[in-house]
Amino acid sequence: MEQTIKVKTAHHAYAVKIIPNGLSQLGIYLSKIWSKRQIAIITDENVAPIYAEQVRQQLGSAGFTAQLLVIPAGERSKSWQQLIKLIDQLAAWHFTRSDGILAVGGGVIGDLAGLAASIYLRGISIVQVPTSLLAQVDSSVGGKTAIDLTAGKNLVGTFYQPDLVLIDPTVLQTLPERLVIEGYGEVIKCAALVGSNFWQLTSKIHSVADIYKFSSELIAASVAFKAKVVTEDETETHQRQLLNLGHTLGHAVERAAAGRLFHGEAVAIGLYQICRLFEKAKLTVSPTTEQVAQRLQAVGLPLTDEALATPAFYAALTHDKKIHDGRLTLIYLEKIGQPNFYPWSLKKVIIWLKRELPTIN
Amino acid sequence: MEQTIKVKTAHHAYAVKIIPNGLSQLGIYLSKIWSKRQIAIITDENVAPIYAEQVRQQLGSAGFTAQLLVIPAGERSKSWQQLIKLIDQLAAWHFTRSDGILAVGGGVIGDLAGLAASIYLRGISIVQVPTSLLAQVDSSVGGKTAIDLTAGKNLVGTFYQPDLVLIDPTVLQTLPERLVIEGYGEVIKCAALVGSNFWQLTSKIHSVADIYKFSSELIAASVAFKAKVVTEDETETHQRQLLNLGHTLGHAVERAAAGRLFHGEAVAIGLYQICRLFEKAKLTVSPTTEQVAQRLQAVGLPLTDEALATPAFYAALTHDKKIHDGRLTLIYLEKIGQPNFYPWSLKKVIIWLKRELPTIN
């Protein structure tokens, strides 16, 4: 069953389509939105052996001229080096503004290819085909693109919307289990923000097998929420900040763990800890933290990590790119489905965390 | 006398201010639009010795924290290398989204700093202080940013609007004369597009001294026209294409001349030649070409060059980034003040040019 969710920003309107086995009809869907053109398939070394040939055939039989560029897998590819390589390749293929990019992969591919699409010739069209659960529920929707600097993650990027996001939940079958679980961390975050039916849906998830079973519903609910937020506020001035629930502490612990934690795992930790801290401060009602913990633990997501509250954790927090004039805005839950903003000075946040966060080491 | 021209795009509204001696009041003007913050002054090796200290003092006395980065002068700085250096420097200074960039220089500095501002942290604020006539009348208004690739000029960039463009015509006194003349090439292009009073104004320019004498008026007329076009059409889908008058042949001859011609000189050649060719084809009325030639020659701008119609010229034309599906749109003048579009296939354009353009070699 095909589900379509519309996203609308100041400059651009597009659809996110959730289509089981959609990858095997990719040519048809691209033909509906794009005239005949050259298409650069950007993918990584993990995805290419499984899907590159199928995607290339889909494009060919739909009358497109397909080019293929395979990027090394992993966060390290969100680099200047890979960005330049990608753009040089587009220029070598003589890509014009009427050609397009097809990003087939997880968040790394989506972020890198999205940035390339947004700056090559001041912007060429792109379609996102996210293949990890994390990318399907989060990074492929909203138009954020990025590469990393030595100084921090996602420090260079743009807001740039694709022409279509095509999500095929069946590709999760070929995804390593730990990546499915981390993606579910972001799903829980969305469900906690939305509450109501979405939070109810997550009560059915008692194992990784349940994530597969309900993948279409979980993805659709997450995307619908994110699409609504992005439609209202593309560039993160207010409403979009809600999506950062669990991310301030999450990013810091992810950074401090130096690659040991996946992003969705770090978000799970950040989400649980911010609930625990705000519940202690009487701003989050009981038993919100307990409910969140149950949902996360049902699939084996972590609630804490030894990198939490280490010097590296605080160093990362200090360089959070959402700090403005020495202040940052923590997102917390008054209860499930009722998030709120807590703007505070960085200095006070750190004093508070040093007092309240357990040092597990 | 201060003149203000408003520019409005989908996302952003800002002012272009033309202020004789504005540089010596920079701190006041920045204070009006920006809260206290860190400001990175980006400038080049030619401009820095003359203005860097004054600008730094202006910022300091207005309560800003000024940082300074000096880039090598010249088109070669529109490179990945300088972009990465600039962005690494912003990260090293711990620039956040509430800090800002001040670009003080010609088109190279404006394009490079503009691109950096648009992608660092997905966009931080920027003020443009163009110091060449070309930048004052053209590149600083409209929000185009860019670096070059080996494959061609301006192949990587964004559309990103500044918070303010502050133009001080008195800085032209320290600009080498050839750069003043080339800037006037773009002024003539604008005047030819607008006609009426603007074209009349250029009839007063009989020498380079006259450019200085009427600089405020010439800049204001050019900026007003460009602001109008950009306000109506930020991303060059139609109306903005008019600004490309003289640029298709101009870019190609500039490229073929391999650095020997300045951009405004190449535009002068492109403008004259497109008039001549279309007048021969009876689409431009006589004596438009003659009028254009008089205006250009009054200040010593070239009408032709030995690089015109060379193999390198045709090679550059073939890689014009405005070609879509093998077609391009030539802009021509029916008469002064009345431009029109001529969409054509690249193949036919080249056959036509090979027949009609003089090979001077």
Asked if B240 is an active-site residue, the reply is yes
d(CA A355, CA A72): 42
pLDDT at A276 over 70: yes
**Which residue in the set B10, B98, B149 is minimally distant from A324, CB to CB?**
B98
For A307-328, what is each residue's pLDDT tens digit? 999 999 999 999 887 888 889 9
pLDDT at A9 over 90: no
| pLDDT at residue B222, as a whole number | 97
Pairing of strands B125-130, B38-44: unpaired
B346 touches chain A (CB under 8 A): no
| pLDDT at residue A361, as a whole number | 42
More confident residue, B164 or B152: B164
CATH class of B177-356: mainly alpha
Torsion from C-alpha of B236, B117, A123, A94, nearest 10 degrees: 110
Q: What number does CATH give the domain B3-174?
A: 3.40.50.1970
Asked if B263 is an active-site residue, the reply is yes
Q: Which of A268-272, B28-32, B320-324 has the lowest mean pLDDT?
A: B320-324
The answer as to CATH 2.60.40.1580 being correct for domain A186-356 is no
Closest B-chain CA to A154 = B121
Q: Please state, as a whole number, how many other Cβ atoms lie within 10 Å of the Cβ of residue B304.
A: 16
pLDDT at B28 over 90: yes
The pLDDT of B195-219, averaged and rounded, is 97
Asked if B324 is an active-site residue, the reply is no
Contacts of A151 in chain B (CB under 8 A): 88, 91-92
For A23-44, what is each residue's pLDDT tens digit? 999 999 999 999 999 999 999 9
For A56-86, what is each residue's pLDDT tens digit? 999 999 999 999 999 999 999 999 999 999 9
Quick one: pLDDT band at residue A12, thresholds 50, 70, 90?
confident
Asked if this assembly's ipTM is beyond 0.85, the reply is yes
The pLDDT of B158-179, averaged and rounded, is 96
The pLDDT of A120-134, averaged and rounded, is 97
- The alpha carbon of residue A120 is apart from the nearest alpha carbon of chain B, in Å, by 5
d(CA B243, CA B22): 27
CB A158 within 8 A of CB A134: no
B323 labeled binding residue: no
**Token code pair at residue A275:** 């609930």
User: How would you write chain A as a 3-class SS string?
Assistant: CCEEEEEECCCCEEEEEECCCHHHHHHHHHHHHCCCCEEEEEEECCCHHHHHHHHHHHHHHCCCEEEEEEECCCHHHCCHHHHHHHHHHHHHCCCCCCCEEEEEECHHHHHHHHHHHHHECCCCEEEEEECCHHHHHHHCCCCECCEEECCEEEEECCECCCCEEEECHHHHHHCCHHHHHHHHHHHHHHHHHHCHHHHHHHCCCCCHHHHHHCHHHHHHHHHHHHHHHHHHCCCCCCHHHHHHCCHHHHHHHHHHCCCCCCHHHHHHHHHHHHHHHHHHCCCCCCCHHHHHHHHHHHCCCCCCCCCCCCHHHHHHHHCCCCCECCEEEEEEEEECCEEEEEEEEHHHHHHHHHHHCCCCC
A203 touches chain B (CB under 8 A): no
B155 alpha-carbon distance from chain centroid: 15
**Token code pair at residue A85:** 């390589």
A326 touches chain B (CB under 8 A): no
**Is residue B352 within a helix (H) or strand (E), and if so which, with residue range?**
helix B346-356
d(CA A266, CA A250): 5
CB A22 within 8 A of CB A29: yes
Which of B328, B321, B322, B324 shows the shortest CA–CA distance to B345? B328
Q: Which residue in B182, B186, B254, B265 is the catalytic one? A: B186
For B97-136, what is each residue's pLDDT tens digit? 899 999 999 999 999 999 999 999 999 999 999 999 999 9
CB contact under 8 A, B122 and A144: yes
d(CA A192, CA B279): 69
A91 touches chain B (CB under 8 A): yes
Q: Which CATH architecture has domain A3-175?
A: 3-Layer(aba) Sandwich (3.40)
d(CA A114, CA A110): 6
Which of B69, B85, B76 shows the shortest CA–CA distance to B120? B85
CB contact under 8 A, A122 and B235: yes
Q: Which residues of A does the annotation mark as catalytic?
A: 122, 144, 186, 226, 236, 240, 244, 247, 251, 263
B264 labeled binding residue: no
**Token code pair at residue B93:** 């200074």
Q: Please state, as a whole number, how many other Cβ atoms lie within 10 Å of the Cβ of residue A314.
A: 16
pLDDT at A10 over 80: no
- The alpha carbon of residue B61 is apart from the nearest alpha carbon of chain A, in Å, by 20
**Token code pair at residue B260:** 């020997």
CB A226 within 8 A of CB A218: no
| pLDDT at residue A359, as a whole number | 55
**Which residue in the set B96, B123, B324 is minimally distant from A98, CB to CB?**
B324
Quick one: pLDDT band at residue B361, thresholds 50, 70, 90?
very low
Closest B-chain CA to A94 = B319
Domain range annotation of chain B: 3-174, 177-356
Q: Residue A261: beta bridge partners?
A: none
For A189-219, what is each residue's pLDDT tens digit? 999 999 999 999 999 999 999 999 999 999 9
B13 touches chain A (CB under 8 A): no
CB contact under 8 A, B321 and A97: yes
CB A39 within 8 A of CB A101: yes
Closest B-chain CA to A321 = B96
d(CA B353, CA B9): 37
The pLDDT of B4-24, averaged and rounded, is 92
Which residue has tokens 């992003």?
Answer: A263
d(CA A361, CA B127): 47
- Side chain identity, residue A153: K
Contacts of A142 in chain B (CB under 8 A): none
CB B135 within 8 A of CB B112: no
Torsion from C-alpha of A342, A345, A351, A355, nearest 10 degrees: 0
CB pairs under 8 A between A and B: 94
pLDDT, chain B, mean: 94
- The alpha carbon of residue B328 is apart from the nearest alpha carbon of chain A, in Å, by 12
B343 touches chain A (CB under 8 A): no
**Which residue in the set B120, B155, B322 is minimally distant from A155, CB to CB?**
B120
B345 touches chain A (CB under 8 A): no
B149 touches chain A (CB under 8 A): yes
d(CA A148, CA B107): 28
d(CA A50, CA A299): 26
B156 touches chain A (CB under 8 A): yes
Report phi then psi at B311, rounded to 5: -55, -40
Quick one: pLDDT band at residue A236, thresholds 50, 70, 90?
low
Q: Residue A94: beta bridge partners?
A: none
pLDDT at A234 over 70: no
Q: C-alpha distances in angstroms, B154 versus A142, B105, B111, B262?
A: 27, 18, 9, 15
CB contact under 8 A, A96 and B325: yes
Q: Helices A288-298 and A177-194: crossing angle, nearest 10°? A: 160
Q: Is the dihedral of CA A69, A186, A353, A331 positive or negative?
A: positive
The pLDDT of B145-155, averaged and rounded, is 93
Closest A-chain CA to B158 = A122
